[in-house]
Every structure is written in structure tokens, then in C-alpha cells.
């Protein structure tokens, strides 16, 4: 099985006529994702990649029955795009866009939740259930169907870990890039709970990084509620305090959010933490024997 998306997920793309939206829509289609329409204001009635472009998400949902939206809208328009998707009853919103102001995202987070939608991102690569569907920009060819769930704050490290898992013969149930911003739609804890309940997932990989306390919260949740094997990698162990390292959320502030604190939290929860991403497949094999 998988979580969040599968072969029945119907996807529309907001910003489909832009460069990135058009390119990655084609990549999703080639992977087998059921992309069934797109949205670009004032460009309704056009066609792209063989399906219609609509002026609004509401029009697209009514015409196609879409239950997922992938957003490639520029940051200055993204709040409107997120809220439009939520208002239209889209169940899963995947926001690839980077650079949305933090104060806007705080309000967007609560707005989307109040509408009953699930948001993945922003500033994320999206997610993939190998062999079934991918929504976003993840490279489909490195993934393999299997039973390992992957949750990551880092896009590039996701690809490295997944590639090593695949080379080791360990396929994935679903891989999710949750995003590297300070405010994101879906947390490690929420996804861990989903993977724990998913009968098609036997173990979980977590890829964390400096900044925030999401990893510490995940460690506590694992200790209290997760029975499936979990292995972890935390990037940024050599990062200097007070400096952003890549993602907007990857910053150590007032001694909080350090890699050392995150590693300690997982160790105290009985979770094995890898020193390098390429160690994770063997660690999984050792604890799944």
C-alpha cells in the first residue's frame, strides 16, 4: 500500500502554463500520474499536454473530479493559490513553491486546516508512491516499489537516500519531502502516524536537518507510539550557529535546533542514527532481521 497518493489520485497543476509547471507536469505524466487538468488564471480554454487549462481551481475540480493539486505558482501569488485550492475542496495540496513569507504561511497553515485539506510543503519536492503516482519534482527513476516509508526535510538528501535504498534492493511505499521552511503543512509526527497504520510499510526512514524542533517531537512520538523500525539521518552537524544553511528553516537560534540535540533525542528514544546517508540501508536490514 501507500499513504496520501496512489494510482487513483487525480491531480491538477496550478501554474501549469509556466516553465516549471509545464516541465514537471510532463515528467509526472511520463511516470504515470493521473494529471487531468491545469489552472492558470486568464488562460482557461487552452490545452497543454493534451488536457484542458481552467481559469480557477473550482472550475477544474467540477470538470475533472480532481482530489489533489500541485502548485508551481510564484511565491507572491502562492497564498491565493493555496487558499483557492482549499476553498475548492481539494483534499491534498502539494506546494513546491519556495519563498513564501513566514507570516503568510502561519495564516495559510491554519486556513488550509480549517478547510479540512492536507498540505505538503511549501518549499518541498513533493511525494511519490513508487509505481503508482508522483506529485512534484522527485526523479521517478531512482525509486522502486517496496515497503520502506521515507520522510525528509531535504530534497537532495531524499534522492541520495532513496538511491541507496533502491541499490540495496529496498523499495519504498511512499517518499515525502515535507519542506524546509519554518512553517510547513505536514509534520514528521503526522506522517509517522500514517506509516504506522499503513500495512504496506514495514519500516521508516527519517531525514532531518538543523533548525526547529520537529525532529525532537518526532523522537518523542516514536518512543511513545511507533512500533515499526525507524532509522534517522540528521544533516548539518558542522553548521555554525546563527547561519542559515540551505533551507530557510535550517538555522540554529539561541542554541536550539542543533544537530547534536536532534541526534541525542533520537538516541534517547532508542532510534538508530546514521553518520552518513549511505549507511541507512544496512542499518535497516540489521534491525529488520
As annotated, the active-site residues are 247
Q: Rounded to whole angstroms, how far apart are CA atoms 206 and 177?
A: 10
| Burial (CB count <10 Å: 0-12, 13-18, 19+), residue 286 | exposed
Facing residues of 176 across strands?
127, 151
Q: Give the cell for residue 24.
A: 514537471
Helices (H), 35-138: 57-64, 75-87, 102-114
Write the CB contacts of 193 (distance below 8 Å, at least 6 apart in sequence): 221, 225
Give the single-character DSSP code of 156: H
Cβ–Cβ < 8 Å for 266, 232? yes
The rounded distance, in Å, linking the Cα atoms of 272 and 251 is 24
> 214, exposed or middle or buried, with CB in 10 Å at 0-12, 13-18, 19+?
buried
Q: How far apart are the C-alpha atoms of 148 and 142, rounded to whole Å?
A: 14
Cα diameter, the chain: 57
Closest of 91, 109, 100, 124 to residue 11, by C-alpha: 91
Residue 44 contacts residue 55 (beta carbons within 8 Å): yes
Going across the sheet that includes 133-136, the strands are: 133-136, 126-129, 172-177, 145-152, 203-209, 230-235, 272-274
Residue 12 in contact with residue 68, Cβ under 8 Å? yes
Amino acid at each position: 500500500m501507500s499513504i496520501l497518493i496512489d494510482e487513483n489520485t487525480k491531480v491538477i497543476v496550478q501554474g501549469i502554463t509556466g516553465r516549471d509547471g509545464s516541465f514537471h507536469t510532463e515528467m509526472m505524466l511520463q511516470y504515470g500520474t493521473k494529471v487531468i487538468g491545469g489552472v492558470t488564471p486568464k488562460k482557461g480554454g487552452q490545452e497543454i499536454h493534451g488536457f484542458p487549462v481552467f481559469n480557477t481551481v473550482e472550475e477544474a475540480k467540477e470538470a475533472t473530479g480532481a482530489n489533489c493539486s500541485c502548485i508551481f505558482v510564484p511565491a507572491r501569488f502562492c497564498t491565493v493559490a493555496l487558499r483557492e485550492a482549499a476553498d475548492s475542496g481539494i483534499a491534498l495540496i502539494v506546494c513546491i513553491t519556495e519563498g513564501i513569507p513566514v507570516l503568510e504561511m502561519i495564516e495559510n497553515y491554519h486556513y488550509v486546516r480549517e478547510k479540512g485539506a492536507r498540505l505538503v510543503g511549501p518549499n518541498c519536492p513533493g511525494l511519490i508512491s513508487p509505481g503508482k503516482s508522483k506529485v512534484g519534482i522527485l526523479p521517478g527513476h531512482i525509486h522502486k516499489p517496496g515497503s520502506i516509508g521515507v520522510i525528509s526535510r531535504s530534497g537532495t538528501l531524499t534522492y541520495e537516500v532513496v538511491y541507496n535504498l533502491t541499490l540495496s534492493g529496498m523499495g519504498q511505499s511512499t517518499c515525502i519531502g515535507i519542506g524546509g521552511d519554518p512553517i510547513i503543512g505536514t509534520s514528521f509526527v503526522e506522517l509517522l502516524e500514517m506509516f504506522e497504520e499503513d500495512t504496506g510499510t514495514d519500516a521508516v526512514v527519517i531525514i532531518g536537518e538543523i533548525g526547529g524542533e520537529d525532529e525532537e517531537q518526532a523522537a518523542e512520538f516514536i518512543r511513545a507510539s511507533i512500533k515499526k523500525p525507524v532509522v534517522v539521518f540528521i544533516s548539518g552537524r558542522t553548521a555554525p550557529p546563527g547561519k542559515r544553511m540551505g533551507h530557510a528553516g535550517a538555522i540554529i537560534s539561541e542554541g536550539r535546533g542543533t544537530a547534536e540535540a536532534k541526534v541525542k533525542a533520537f538516541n534517547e528514544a532508542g532510534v538508530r542514527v546514521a553518520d552518513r546517508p549511505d549507511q541507512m540501508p544496512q542499518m535497516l536490514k540489521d534491525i529488520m532481521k
